[in-house]
Chains A and B, each alone.
Chain A
Amino acid sequence: MIDKTVLNAQEAIEDIQDGMTISLGGFGLCGIPENLISALLEKGIKGLTCISNNAGVDDFGLGLLLQKKQVKKMIASYVGENAEFERQMLSGELEVELIPQGTLATRLMAGGYGMPVIYTPAGVGTEVAVGKEVRRFTFHGVEKEYLMEHAFEPDFAFVKAWKGDRAGNLVYRGTAQNFNHAVAMCGKITIAEVEELVEPGELDPNFIHTPGIFIHKIFQGEKYEKRIEQRTVRNKDDNE
């Protein structure tokens, strides 16, 4: 067993410098690496390029780094819940690359699978295709156009899991898995924060989502807010 444990988020990010590229797991505020984001905020690292499906909300998640102008460029698929983000983007303060969600996930995956490019039909005929190589393939019995998209190779990858062991093996919970697995696989250095850090042997090897080989540093998060973006409920007396 190779022990990947570090003490906390502060120790985990000690090699991160201004201007680096970081990919982060999470969908909306679900499954985001809260403690690592806080550590970046605290340390004041600037000029970051962040690859993440969303950009948080005004006062939580990546939104916190945006408020402090620590992000130079954002690569995301959906940024609808963040007024400060929209303001910085429309004023030109923040560089933004919006890409289709499946393209984002698959470019992260390709990084982790050791494949330099993928071809996807998403974005053909739209402004996403501008400047990209287009090729025709017959697939599923239909000939159509596909865009060539490059794998992501971020300097650092931040993920959040439910449980992890000292060897870096990770288990996610519910839809908090989302981008975390693909993000974990593509980082040159991947840091995992977990709600519960356990001893090797405590996680069933049959049910590991991300094997420890992809993880370079792991720690148990100090606290988790796990904020809910859209609280939707039904009444006890509703019959569906």
Chain B
Amino acid sequence: MLDKYGIAKRIAKEIKDGYYVNLGIGIPTLVANYIPEHINVVLQSENGLLGMGPFPFEGEEDADYINAGKQTITTLPGSAFFDSAMSFGMIRSRKVDLTILGAMEVSENGDIANWKIPGKMVKGMGGAMDLVASAENIIVAMQHVNKAGESKLLSSCTLPLTGVKCVKKVVTELGVFEIMETGGFKVLELHDGVSLDMVKQSTAGKLYY
């Protein structure tokens, strides 16, 4: 079984040389720490930066340099700033190769819900709806079950949707799952110490193995 750092580390393996990658808030942000040094990858932050660097050293934080999670960041040689409209132009015109984001629920046909719990939590969709509607390759990083112990891999989402039929792969603490064209979660990998029974118990949607 993996912790959130392990999930991030596993997802980093999906990133290939030459990719432009957009990382969402939460576990996806951690993925940046595990990108292999021998490959060239550019991180896109939808608030207007290509080539996001690491956090600044203490005392060097700059209020004008932040990422989409509003964290202080730095630039790298080759970085570029741009405006928000252009940023989503890059996303819609599929210049961004890979999008990694968190979710509250994913369904077996690739629907995703991650922006609202009616009557309880309304943070807004931010850029997630634009990203999932346009990206070719979307990987979801999340826990397999919610805090109440209920599966987050469902036959259909119960929460308001962020996008339909868009998720390609889900990485949880238990394993790696592909969304099949015909519907269903296909088990690609089980993490160390995880049995198929554990996955079956925690997955409400159709499971193929």
Contacts and interface: CB of A to CB of B under 8 A. Distances in A.
A30 interface: yes
A240 interface: yes
Interface residues of B, number: 56
B163 A126 contact: yes
A139 B73 CA distance: 35
A233 B56 contact: yes
A76 B124 contact: yes
A103 B89 CA distance: 10
Interface residues of A, number: 62
B84 interface: yes
Interface stretch (B6-14, B59-67, B170-178, B180-188): B59-67
Contacts of A232: 55, 61, 71-73
Given A102-B88, A230-B70, A173 B64 contact: yes
B36 interface: no
Contact of A53 (B67, B84, B134): B84
A180 B134 CA distance: 24
B94 interface: yes
Given A181-B85, A232-B71, A80 B133 contact: no
Nearest to B90: A102
B83 A90 contact: no
Interface string B31-69: 001000000000001111100001111101111111111
A204 interface: no
B208 interface: no
A200 interface: no
Given A28-B70, A125-B164, A229-B70, A234 B130 contact: no
A226 interface: yes
A105 B55 contact: no
A78 B64 contact: no
Contact of B134 (A98, A122, A126): A122
| 6 residue pairs, one from A and one from B, having the closest CB atoms | A102-B88, A102-B130, A80-B123, A174-B64, A125-B164, A100-B129
Interface of B: 33, 45-49, 54-58, 60-73, 81-85, 87-88, 91-94, 111, 115-116, 119, 122-130, 133-134, 160-164
